[in-house]
Amino acid sequence: MNKKAIFEYCGWCNSCVDDGCKEYDLCEEHWFDGNDTTDAMHKMNEKGDWGKFYYYAYELNRLDLRLHQSEFTFRLMQPARFFELMSEALEKGVIK
């Protein structure tokens, strides 16, 4: 997972762990939680990327037949999975 890209996308680089933090190695120590997920969703919505991200995650879910559609949203909103997918979407240029 590329935490640096996530922090840059969300504009969290200057306040990720400590006020005024500018060291990405400190960002690497950050554990994403549900609040971060909500903040990232809002940032994606602001940037007009939420639909693209959701569709990307949904298409991956369609390819994984072990996961039923009813479980998709629940699994997507789990911070570890959400940020793993967000990192992939940033890497592939799905969201910018």
- What is the per-residue pLDDT across 33-80, written as a single tens digit (0 to 9) for each? 999 999 999 999 999 999 999 989 888 776 566 667 667 778 888 899
Q: Where are the domains of the chain?
A: 3-92
Contact assessment for residue 69 and residue 61, using Cβ atoms and an 8 Å cutoff: yes
d(CA 12, CA 27): 9
Q: What's the pLDDT at 89?
A: 96
CA–CA separation, 96 and 85 (whole Å):
14
> If you search the block for the tokens 């922090």, which residue do you land on?
7
Q: Which residues contact 8 (CB under 8 A, 6 or more apart)?
A: none
